[in-house]
Structure 1
C-alpha cells in the first residue's frame, strides 16, 4: 500500500555505524542503517538531534550504492 503524503514517516535506526561530526548545538551527522516505513534497512547519512526525534535532510544508499561509493573513494585515494 502506498504511503499518503499526510502519513507520518516511520523510521527505526537499526544500527549506528559511526558519528561523522557533532555541531555546537549537539546534533550529530551519523552513518546508520535505517529502516524507513518498515522497509529493509539502508545506509543513511544525515544529521540527528541528540535524542534522535528530529533529523535533517540526508541521503540513503543501498548496499550496492554503498559498495560503489567505497570503491570510488578508494580509487580517488581518499
Structure 2
C-alpha cells in the first residue's frame, strides 16, 4: 500500500465513539499535501489508524447538509 500523508487541519466534531476507543469524526484534512477537504471516517484514539471513509469538498458538504435538512427524521 502506498504511504499516505495526512494532516488534520481542523476537527469539526465527533459523531460517535465505540467501546474500543475508535471515534467517527468529521475533520478538515489535507491528504498528501493537497488542499484540505472535509472527511468523515473512524479514527483510533491517537489518530494513528483510520477506517474507510468519505471525503467531500465544501460544495459537496453543503449539498449533503441540504439533503439532510430536507429529510423527515
Fold match, TM over 0.5?
Answer: yes
Q: Normalised by the size of structure 1, how large is the TM-score?
A: 0.88
Q: Distance in 2 between matches of 1:77 and 1:42?
A: 28
Instruction: Say yes or no: does 1:45 pair with 2:45.
Output: no
RMSD across aligned C-alpha pairs, in angstroms? 1.1
Partner of 1:64: 59
3-state secondary structure, aligned to 1:29: strand
3-state secondary structure, aligned to 2:45: coil
3-state secondary structure, aligned to 1:72: helix
Structure 2, unaligned stretches of length 5 or more? none
1:75 Cα deviation after fit: 1.3
Q: Distance in 1 between matches of 2:34 and 2:23?
A: 24
Count of paired positions: 73
Q: Normalised by the size of structure 2, how large is the TM-score?
A: 0.94
1:7 Cα deviation after fit: 3.7
